[in-house]
Chain A
Amino acid sequence: MVYFCQIMVSGIVVGSIYALAALGLVLIYKSSRVANFAHGQIIAAGAFITYFLTVDLGLPIFFSFLASMVITFFLAMSVERIFLRRLIGEPIISVIMVTIGLSSIIDGLIYLTPFGTENYSFPAFLPTTPLTVYGVSISWTQLLGVIITFILIGAFSWFFKKSTVGISMRAVSDDQFGSMSVGISVPRVFGLAWATAGLSAAAAGCIIGNITGLNFDTLHAFGIVVFPVVILGGLDSILGAVVAGIIMGLIQQFASGYLDGNWGLSGTGEVAPYIILVIILFFKPHGLFGVHEIERV
């Protein structure tokens, strides 16, 4: 029973990180219909910037957390401005390939720094003894990660529902011409969408970096796993991203917890998200909460 609860807790922790990372993807897709394959790299960049600010410049960790969010905000916005602006209106395959190309470029840039190949770990800023409840243990870093994730998700939801900027972003994702006619600057909204995605990416990166240490390969793989999460939840639903993130986290942990080692299986945690994705797509082709697009001839 304790084992089951432990896996459940791990699943929720991992899942909420997935949710935070997926959030950024959904944000971009919702407003500009672009699937951003470079998201994993932005997460990694956010994590490395935080490390750099904390260790090399000596800022207290909370400040560097906020600072890296701000830096990634502008980084993502400039990426959108330089590369994606020209591609408004091009077929989706071109846009996807541009983001793939971008992911390679950011890869290359990260490899130029020592972060690309070396392993680093954040200095511990929380007590290292874990919290134990009924035999289930969770470390302070993980707990903090979950809390921050939910705070950010709540903030984003509020932002989209209540603030003017958020509403204009939703308007743009619904109908570009309509929102232009009421005076919303569509290109500016695109830039903002990318920038907020950068924010959430940096946050996700910091949290992952604190929990697992900074290894570029791991962060890289993260960027790929985020896609099944987003698709499972539906590409344009924030709630979907959160729910799907937690589901994927749980599935992963349960798969590796119960399937690995039996029947000679191993590494099931890696492949389980994809298998589940394919199965669910058969029944819900637009993901769990995705909007069924009505196409007309």
Chain B
Amino acid sequence: MAQNHWLSTGNFFTSYKQEQRNFLTHLDTSIFTFFLILLFAWPLFFDLGNKMMFVVDNLMIAIVAVMGLNLVTGFAGLISIGHAAFVGIGAYTVASFCRTLGTSHELITHFWPLVIVISGLVGAGFGAFVGLPAFRLKHLYLAIATLSFQMIFQWVINFMTFFNQGQTIFVGRVSWVTGRVGRNDHYEFWYYVILVVVVLLGFGIRNLLKTKYGRCLIAVRDNDRAADAMGMHPGLTKVYAFALAGFFAGVAGALHAYVYRGVGFESFTLHESVSYLAMAIVGGLGTLNGSFWGPVAIKFLDLQVETLSEVAGQYLPAGMNLATALKPFTFGLVIVLFLMFEPRGIANWWRIVKSYTKLWPFRY
């Protein structure tokens, strides 16, 4: 009986390493590669126009941020209501460079990958700092501590003149090997950059969970006293989880700054934090593909609600504030419905679909 490398016909693993591979069969690998090629190639054939590319870029930045949030809330079980503040820290790191060096300085326009990594590290630093209370606080108390951090961040940005007191700080256009990225290529260029970042970080998370630290995270989430008894350090694990989430958020923030070519505080408010949490939950807390589904679902919903309220606004009496009302209403309704009927999120649907197709045409 030989092992079929293309389909999973049985359990033929002979080592732990084999079992923990990312892609178990050649079919999996080829589907994934094909999908990746598709993602890289479609902008060359379809021209979406600036607005939609802008939306797509936004979406992918949200994916990066939510990957980090999923790490700390889904895998480590620590509720973080301050995630938008971490994203903001990443963005404001870029902005600080711009303020001190000038928006067209070489560092910002030519060495932007370095700047993005630095923002990630700064985000990680702050993440660790905010995670320090995790040594002593539990559950809701920790959640409110992160909320406090969010509010303090908002106040600091609004107050300090170095950050232009919350007003937009401009970030210049970047240059690539082919020269300066002009207005027309801007969104497409950043689409590719963010795509690369997403793929790299996605693999990063996949592999993280196979390491000792990854298993530590899940153990601490499930029962941190037991994990302590087994020799893991729950406090350090939690701080490290916050730091990692901070790294992801910092990178997302830096990308945000570059795509928008400006940093203003409105994109990093409490409402955004709640939005990220919603994306994580609707996507599926504690799963990697949940980080992809969540932002897609929420952003898609946002756009549809906008179109719907525009259309409805023409037919309904002007007195009704339908547009303002619909946005939070549908947002809340989606969250509540998902939690009431599908608490494991869209990732659960995906899992069901996948297992169904894997065994098709057999039922079980």
Contacts and interface: CB of A to CB of B under 8 A. Distances in A.
Interface in B132-162: 133, 136-141, 143-145, 147-149, 151-152, 155, 158-159
A227 B148 CA distance: 9
A101 B336 contact: yes
Contact of B324 (A96, A111, A286): A111
Contacts, number: 147
Nearest to A117: B321
A286 B325 contact: no
B281 interface: yes
A104 B144 contact: no
Given A83-B336, A111-B321, A296-B225, A286 B141 contact: yes
A271 B152 CA distance: 6
A97 B332 contact: no
B353 interface: no
Interface size class of A (residues with CB under 8 A): 35 or more
Contacts of A108: 325-332
Given A87-B340, A97-B335, A105 B328 contact: yes
Interface in B271-285: 274, 277-278, 281, 285
A182 interface: no
Nearest to B331: A104
Interface stretch (A60-68, A119-127, A184-192, A272-280): A272-280
Interface in A233-277: 235, 265-267, 270-271, 274-275, 277
A243 B226 CA distance: 36
Interface residues of B, number: 51
A163 interface: no
B145 A266 contact: no
A275 B339 contact: no
Interface of A: 35, 83, 86-87, 90, 92-94, 96-98, 100-109, 111-112, 114, 116-117, 224, 227-228, 231, 235, 265-267, 270-271, 274-275, 277-278, 281-282, 285-287, 293, 295-297
Given A97-B281, A267-B158, A285-B138, 15 more contacts: A97-B335, A97-B339, A100-B274, A104-B332, A108-B331, A109-B325, A111-B329, A112-B322, A270-B151, A271-B151, A274-B149, A277-B148, A278-B145, A285-B137, A297-B229
26 contacts: A35-B143, A87-B339, A93-B79, A93-B285, A96-B79, A101-B334, A101-B339, A104-B328, A104-B331, A104-B333, A105-B328, A105-B329, A105-B336, A108-B330, A109-B325, A111-B321, A116-B324, A231-B141, A274-B149, A281-B133, A282-B133, A282-B136, A285-B136, A285-B137, A297-B225, A297-B229
Interface of B: 73, 77, 79, 133, 136-141, 143-145, 147-149, 151-152, 155, 158-159, 223, 225-226, 229, 270, 274, 277-278, 281, 285, 319-322, 324-336, 339-340, 343
